[in-house]
Amino acid sequence: MAVITFANTKGGAGKTTAALLLATELLHRNHRVCVLDADPQRWFSRWQEGAPLIPRLSVETYVSASTIQKIVHERRQEWDFVIIDLPGIQSPLLASAVGLSDHVIVPIQGSSMDAQGGAQVLDLLRYLDRKAGIRIPHSVVLSRVNPAITTRSMSAVKRLLAEQQINVLDTPISERAAYREMFDLNRPLRKLEGTATGSGEKAIRNAEAFASEILAMVAPGKTLDRSLMSRRNMACYETAA
Ligand SMILES: Nc1ncnc2c1ncn2[C@@H]1O[C@H](COP(=O)(O)OP(=O)(O)OP(=O)(O)O)[C@@H](O)[C@H]1O
Ligand SMILES: [Mg+2]
């Protein structure tokens, strides 16, 4: 149905956390999800290897620039969602992955607004648009945002990015202990102890809202057909190279 890529060439921006939150929320809604772990560090794969068996989830590991196109084309047909988790470095995988995507999500740390790695991804997307007329839908999600941050200061950040015609999700991903624990304990968010109440419950509501916003953007009818996707991917790769 849809290919969603998480990209930021800066390490630690929150890509894998956001990818895992989206994947597990989609699974919770009974979708079939295939995650392509394109990071040689294998954070997502390691999480899955330590987690209990999760039905309707497949994680492909060691995805590289030379294999990604074939894997995405095959998996698109079998799975409701393909989620690509990119490494926090600049690599040829970035152009290949964005060219295959229905939507690119760029997590940028809301607290520091350290947007340099995000800017590299956004620059590539702008370049593809200007140079080759290839428009890949994309959004910034502010990640690791202090839940106590005021709506007013969030609006200011959103305005700043909107001035550059960058869509920012209404739902930022909060800084939550539960989001760290998912990796420490190899559990999906909803299977962590104590998430039914208090800050755990807020973490679930946050993940839910994040997934709903993405789903609304990649709903059926809003995604590209496969033959167009294939031609676009080749053009992306050639233009970026
Ligand atoms: N919303 C959050 N709340 C709490 N901790 C977070 C949150 N997002 C990320 N972290 C923590 O920050 C660290 C980096 O996050 P993550 O691995 O998701 O980033 P990344 O962009 O995938 O990094 P890399 O580029 O190295 O793959 C991890 O220890 C993670 O647990
Ligand atoms: Mg990662």
Q: Quick one: pLDDT at residue 236?
A: 75
54: how many CB neighbours lie within 10 A of its CB?
Answer: 15
Give the atom of ligand 1 at the shortest distance from the alpha carbon of 175.
Answer: 3
Cα 92 to middle of ligand 1, angstroms: 22
- DSSP output for 100-163: T-SEEEEEEETTT---HHHHHHHHHHHHHHHHH-----EEEEEESB-TT--HHHHHHHHHHHHH
CA–CA separation, 218 and 215 (whole Å): 5
pLDDT value, residue 151: 67
Residue by residue, pLDDT tens for the chain (241 residues) are: 799 999 999 889 999 999 999 999 999 999 999 999 999 999 999 999 999 999 999 999 989 999 999 999 999 889 999 999 999 998 889 999 999 999 999 998 865 555 667 888 888 999 998 988 889 999 999 898 888 766 666 777 777 778 878 888 989 999 999 999 999 999 999 999 877 767 789 999 999 999 999 999 997 666 666 566 777 777 777 777 7
Q: What is the pLDDT of residue 5?
A: 97
| Distance of alpha carbon 187 from alpha carbon 134, whole angstroms | 38
Distance in Å, CA 38 to ligand 2 centroid: 9
- Could you tell me which of 114, 158, 153 has the C-alpha nearest to residue 139? 158
Pocket (CB within 6 angstroms of ligand 1): 8, 11-17, 39, 43, 87-88, 143-144, 173-176, 179-180, 183
Pocket test for ligand 1, best of 5, 16, 195 (most atoms within 8 A of CB): 16
Ligand nearest to the CA of residue 8, numbered in listed order: 1
pLDDT at 118: 80
> What domains lie within the chain, and their CATH numbers?
2-240 (3.40.50.300)
Pick the atom of ligand 1 nearest to 39's CA. Answer: 27
- pTM for this structure? 0.92
Residue of minimum CA distance from atom 11 in ligand 1: 180
User: How close is the Cα of 88 to the center of ligand 2, in Å?
Assistant: 6
Ligand 2 center to 27 CA (angstroms): 20
DSSP H or E run through 238: helix 226-240
What local confidence, expressed as pLDDT, does residue 115 receive?
62
The structure tokens 């190279």 sit at 241
Residue 227's pLDDT is: 65
Residue 224 alpha carbon to ligand 1 centre in Å: 30
Decide: 111 and 148 in contact? Cβ < 8 Å: no
Q: Whose CA is nearest to atom 5 of ligand 1?
A: 180
CA 194–ligand 2 middle distance (angstroms): 25
Which protein residue has the closest C-alpha to ligand 1 atom 30? Answer: 180
Ligand nearest to the backbone CA of 88: 1
